[in-house]
Amino acid sequence: MRKHRQGWDYFDKIYCISVNERADRRVEAQIQFKTVGLGDSVEFIIVSKHPHNCEEGIFHSHMDCLRKGLQAGADSIVVFEDDILFDRFDIKGLKNCIDFLSGIDPWNALFFGCLVSRSQKTGNPSVVKIDYRCSAHAYVVNRHFAETLIRIPWQGVAYDDVLKNWPDCYAAYPAFAFQSNSPTDNDRNIGLDRIRRLLGGIQRIQKRNEFYHRHKIPIIAVHSIIILVIVKQVFL
């Protein structure tokens, strides 16, 4: 019966991680969820900020969502972070992603938005295959991958790094989930957060990352030609 479900109701459980003190983010997140048709379908997982290590807190928060989804019998588990920002969302694109997941085996994760180290086209115009880099703020995993992830103990490795190098990971194209410019709760990333703001925010960085990997060959070719022209002018 599951294959006949459409839109967000295709996914069995949808969670959003939120730090207890950030009620402001929960209010904004609820507004964002309503803009894409999620309404009250998202369950907020309220967590306390880790007293010593924010990365460890983030790790356990994501793992708690996966465990909760598995305990509920979910075959697919969506996880958002509360600084979620939707842009370029299109219900047709979401349905294309769902059609893709319904017709492919195996798949581990599909990110609604993230930074990647590599991407390549698939037979579906709304999905690219990726090498994940970072920004696990909006993604879905299947039951098997969730079961695999929760067996990984905290070993001082950030959750983003745990997700790297796994095969069969995909991303929506164009990405429609971004992180807002709300100040980070990760004390270790305050400097990085400031740099991101200077560069226009994570949303702009993510779009540039997507554009580069989508058009990598022509971009490199154009820059190579420009360099050759400059070198030729210098030495002639």
37 and 91 Cβ atoms separated by less than 8 Å: yes
Per-residue pLDDT band at 133 (split at 50, 70, 90)? very high
Q: For the domain 2-235, what is the CATH code?
A: 3.90.550
Residue with tokens 């894409």: 36
Query: What is the pLDDT at residue 211?
Result: 85
Give the mean model confidence (pLDDT) for residues 159-181. 96
Sequence ranges of the domains in the chain: 2-235
Query: What is the pLDDT at residue 188?
Result: 60
Angstrom distances, CA of residue 132 to CA of 58, 118, 167 = 18, 7, 9
pLDDT in tens, 60-118: 999 999 999 999 999 999 999 999 999 999 999 999 999 999 999 999 999 999 999 99
Per-residue pLDDT band at 55 (split at 50, 70, 90)? very high
Q: Which residues of 58-90 are buried (b: 16+ CB within 10 A; e: fewer)?
A: bbebbbbbbbebbeeebebbbbbbbbbbbeebe
Among residues 157, 135, 168, 139, which one has the least CA distance to residue 66?
139
Phi and psi for 101 in degrees, rounded to 5? -65, -35
Q: Rounded to two decimals, what is the model's pTM?
A: 0.87
Mean pLDDT of the chain: 89
Query: What is the pLDDT at residue 223?
Result: 55
- Helix or strand run (H / E) with residue 110: strand 109-111
pLDDT in tens, 210-232: 988 987 666 666 656 766 667 66
Query: What is the pLDDT at residue 184?
Result: 60
Query: What is the pLDDT at residue 47?
Result: 97
Position with higher pLDDT, 199 vs 29: 29
Query: What is the pLDDT at residue 1?
Result: 37
88 and 138 Cβ atoms separated by less than 8 Å: no
Pick the range with the lowest mean pLDDT from 45-54, 143-152, 156-165, 179-188: 179-188
Query: What is the pLDDT at residue 5?
Result: 62
